[in-house]
Amino acid sequence: MVKSKVNKSLETLKQSIINDIVDKIKTLDLKDEELIIEEITKTKAKRKAPTIPLEKQCIKKCKDGSKCTVPKCYKKTCWAHLTKDQRKEYQSLKAEKI
* DSSP codes of every residue in 26-95: HHHT-TTHHHHHHHHH--PPPPPPPPPPGGGB--SBPTTSPBP-SBP-BTTB-GGG--HHHHHHHHHHHH
pTM of the model: 0.45
- For 14-68, write each residue's pLDDT tens digit: 889 888 888 887 777 666 777 777 777 777 788 888 888 989 999 889 889 898 8
Spans of all domains in the chain: 2-41, 54-97
